[in-house]
Structure 1
Amino acid sequence: MIITIPDTNATGIHMALVEARHNIGVASSMVFTMIVIAEARHYDRALAACHDAGREHPSRIILVTNGDADGDRVDAEIRLGEEVPGEIISLRFHGELTEHRASVVLPLLLPDSPVVAWWTGKAPDKPGEDPLGKLAIRRITDAMGSPRPLAAIERRARNYCPGDTDLTWTRLTPWRALLAAALDSYPAPITAVSVEAAPNNAASMLLSAWLEDRLGVQVDRREGDKGIGVTNVTLSTTKGDIVIAREDGKTATFSAPGLSRRQVALRRREINALITEELRRLDVDDIFASAMRTLVERCERRDAEQAATR
């Protein structure tokens, strides 16, 4: 069922929800509220991701976009029923109301349940201080959705607040799992680490910080001209190099001391899978927080070295 409500407010949306649930017999059994902040051009992609995430995590999803119609008003669209997991409320703000979105969203949050905020593209430099971000215990951004991903992940790190996370971290889950398994299988002192990635890849900055934080070794990060995403990680040990190399974004070549090379699955994932994974945990990610602190230290070290050469 899709209900369209032009020029409305939070009270009108709530009354329409109650009536719709009564008419179609939908039970309200949702585990959290997710506020999705999307640019108009990303609306369809965000809506598709909301559908997928809702299948695993039944929730009330409030999809917020800005419109360009005349006047100060909010247009709403409610989706619920058998084909919709949970409830999806789309809010399109026009005029001066774009500056007061939190006041409309606040009454629509599920009572006594967690709130997650997700910016699908460009996000504020300080999500924890954003009016919509303040409503949430978890705030999800995506540095790769910024025109300057490297600068974006650096800003996220410098302005980190407990509860923040970024989908660049979620993209690294397969890499982190494979690297951790490699170190468990081939324990040896690490003498050097290098990470190579395509240009402007924010995940490589975060992966370098995580490895430096976990291993206590300065990591050399490089940009290459082949492949997509992170393309190579080399862990130099006293027994030889452990190398994971990926160029096609699907499979990687794994090699370790005393072993022949073999292929391992290391596929880049779509945004729908990333957001679904990220919603599986609503507590603060201490390992991510530690990696972000190390990223700040790496950036400060870089800045000091550049200043010294001027």
Structure 2
Amino acid sequence: MIVDLPDTTVSTIARSLVKVREDGGAVALGRVLTLVIPTSHGLEEDAIEAANDASREHPMRVIVLISHPEGESRLDAQIRVGGDAGASEVVVLRAAGAAASNEESLVTGLLLPDAPVVAWWPDHPPAVPRESPIGRIAQRRITDASTTPYDAERLSELGAVYSPGDTDLAWTRLTRWREQLAAELDQPPYLPVTAVEVVGSGSSPSTGLLAAWLRLKLDVPVTWRFAPREKWEHGIQRVVLTRANGDIVVERIGEVDAVLRQPGQPEHDLVLPRRTLRECLAEELRRLDPDVLYGRVITEGWELLGPPLVEE
């Protein structure tokens, strides 16, 4: 069910949410958090779709905020429940002019009582997430360093302003890579790694974050390279862990498939699919405490990592 509320107020929206629940039987008592999504016009539907999918694991209220500082002061809203909102309630706010000048006040009257608040910027995150109007009211703040147009300095900027509670989906996309590499090092012969090489796309912040994680955890020299765009366009291509008995190589060969090469063993096929936006968002919503490891990687690990090289 979709309810449109043109030229409205926050108090009217709040009353309408109560009425929708009473009339339609949509129960909000089981919601576990409020997800606030500041985004841009034209990008909101992809964010709502990902949030609706994630809500099947984390029932929540989703507040989507689209602000236009210019123009006549006006607030339009839309409430989505039932089949149009997955297991969540979705409130879409479109604020213009003076009505868009105070994002925090637009949102606070619609938050679930006594429930954690998570902020997610699918695009154009603020320079300092924790100091932004929405970031100040959120326990967790999710950015995405991979959004276009790609900025090579974005990870350095995120590290410089990091605050406990910050995280980034470029880090979340590494979960399967981290699990696979850790699994290989947990098997005999347990020889120490002496050097690491990480190769990936020049527009993939995950490549740098994986290199920073390995530099931090293994405390060995890490070389990270950008593959030529014509050879590798997206994400991480391969990781090489050097040990005294030879190299362990994990190399992606497609959207889903990868291969594992180890000294003295036959080549193994791996399933290493790229993670969807819904999977990454759902993973981040599983924890509301600070991701301490991400904090160390984006600060300590990033500072230890040298600049990337570019493959010919």
TM-score calculated relative to the size of structure 1: 0.93
- Per-residue displacement from partner, 1:267-301 (whole Å, max 9, x unpaired)? 112212211222111111111111112244136x6
Superposed, 1:81-230 pairs within 5 Å as 81=82, 83-84=84-85, 85-186=87-188, 187-225=190-228, 226-227=231-232, 228-230=234-236
Alpha carbons of structure 1 residues 126 and 295: separation in structure 2 relative to 1, 3 Å: farther
Where does residue 6 of structure 1 map in the other structure? 6
Query: What displacement does 1:302 show?
Result: 5.0
Q: Which protein has the bigger helix share?
A: 1
CA contact (8 A) 1:61 1:88 kept: yes
Alignment match, 2:60? 59
CA distance in 2, matches of 1:205, 1:261: 26
Contact 1:38 1:121 in 2 (8 A): yes
What stretches of structure 1 of length at least 5 have no aligned partner? 304-310
Residue 66 of structure 1: how far off its partner (Å): 2.4
Q: How does 1:17-36 map to 2 (within 5 A)?
A: 17-28=17-28, 29-36=30-37
Deviation at 1:159, TM superposition (A): 0.9
Q: How many residues align?
A: 302
Q: 1:288: which partner in 2?
A: 294
Per-residue CA deviations over 1:151-174 (Å, capped at 9, x if unaligned) read: 112211111100000000110000
Relative distance call for 1:302 and 1:197 in structure 2 (3 A) is closer
In the alignment, is the contact (CA less than 8 A) between 2:77 and 2:91 conserved in 1?
yes
Name structure 2 gaps, 5 residues minimum.
none
SS in 2 for 1:103: helix
**How far does the alpha carbon of each residue in 1:125-168 deviate from its partner, in whole angstroms, 9 at most, with x for none?**
21011110111000000000142343112211111100000000
What does residue 308 of structure 1 align with?
none
After superposing on structure 2, the runs of 4+ consecutive aligned residues of structure 1 that deviate more than 3 Å are 67-70
Distance in 1 (alpha carbons) for counterparts of 2:88 and 2:307: 47
CA contact (8 A) 1:244 1:253 kept: yes
How far, CA to CA, are the matches of 2:145 and 2:179 in structure 1?
21
| TM-score relative to the length of structure 2 | 0.92
The one-letter amino acid of 1:194's match is E
